[in-house]
């Protein structure tokens, strides 16, 4: 789950915290519509019902933020409160009207949601990707502006390259983000469904999945190749490097020399890894 921004909304806006200067108005619910840039795709019935009961008992304690549009008002922040108010059959609700451009509305909606802790890893990754595309910035620039590490940003975005079915399982909590990251390393993608079924059936943890995918990948290049039993020392360093670079890393020892293989999945992913290597050189 998302654990909140390090620097907050002020990393993007200089005037987002001005509720105290703005007027709260009562707007009819039928004039309000959801934000098309809402990163949260899952609104559980339980959370909406809980908020609905709170609204029926105490009213809406915090106004939502909207912007004026041709067809009424678009929600910038507060869609869950809006949904709960509809369930509670409210006719109006308190709002703060902001004068925002299309891009500002998108940015503010995404950033506000990223500060919460209930986004799924898939929703968080999609939010990062949308910010990168709309703001035309790199993963490194986004990481600095959010106070996050680049591997954190990259690891979430990489989940979006998984099959839609697997992404849905991660969003539903059937698979963890760790499972998703490990599945990305499966070389023979046609085995994805089989692997996922086994993970669910046998309740494999991430370490067990890593070992199994490692065995499957060993069979892909050379079927006749004798499997090498790696010692604990090598496995430990592979795990450490895998965590550092946010991708699969293989250490292979030969009789006279060895090699380290670092996998990447796109030019941007390669750039991310090279940046990490440059940072390591600068610290030596």
Active site residue 19: no
User: What CA–CA distance (Å, rounded) separates 176 from 57?
Assistant: 36
Q: Interhelix angle for 164-171 vs 192-202, to 10°?
A: 20
Bridge partners (DSSP) listed for residue 28? 92
Element (H, E) at 97: strand 92-97
Catalytic residue among 31, 49, 79, 223: 79
105, 97 in Cβ contact below 8 A?
A: no
CA distances from 17 to 39, 48, 79, 98, 108 (A): 21, 26, 19, 11, 11
User: Is the distance from CB of 156 to CB of 125 less than 8 angstroms?
Assistant: yes
Burial class (CB in 10 A: 0-12, 13-18, 19+), 226: exposed
Bridge partners (DSSP) of residue 65 are 77, 96
Active site residues: 79
């Amino acid at each position: 789950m998302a654990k909140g921004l390090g620097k907050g909304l002020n990393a993007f806006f200089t005037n987002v915290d001005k509720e105290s200067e703005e007027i709260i108005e009562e707007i009819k619910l039928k004039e309000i519509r959801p934000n098309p840039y809402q990163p949260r795709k899952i609104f559980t019935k339980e959370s909406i019902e809980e908020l609905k009961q709170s609204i029926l008992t105490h009213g809406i304690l915090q106004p939502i933020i909207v912007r004026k549009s041709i067809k009424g008002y678009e929600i910038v922040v507060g869609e869950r409160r809006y949904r709960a108010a509809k369930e509670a059959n409210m006719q109006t609700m308190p709002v703060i009207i902001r004068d925002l451009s299309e891009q500002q509305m998108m940015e503010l909606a995404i950033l506000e949601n990223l500060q919460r802790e209930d986004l799924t890893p898939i929703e968080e990754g999609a939010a990062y990707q949308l910010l990168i595309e709309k703001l035309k910035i790199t993963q490194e620039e986004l990481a600095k502006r959010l106070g996050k590490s680049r591997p954190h940003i990259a690891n979430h975005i990489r989940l979006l390259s998984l099959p839609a079915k697997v992404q849905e399982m991660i969003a539903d909590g059937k698979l963890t983000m760790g499972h998703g990251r490990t599945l990305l390393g499966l070389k023979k993608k046609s085995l994805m469904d089989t692997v996922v079924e086994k993970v669910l059936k046998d309740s494999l943890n991430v370490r067990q999945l890593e070992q199994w995918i490692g065995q499957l990948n060993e069979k892909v290049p050379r079927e006749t190749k004798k499997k090498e039993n790696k010692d604990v020392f090598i496995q430990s360093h592979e795990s450490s490097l895998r965590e550092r670079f946010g991708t699969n890393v293989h250490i292979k020892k030969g009789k006279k020399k060895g090699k380290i293989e670092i996998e990447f999945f796109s030019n941007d992913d390669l750039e991310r890894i090279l940046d990490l290597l440059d940072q390591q050189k600068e610290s030596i």
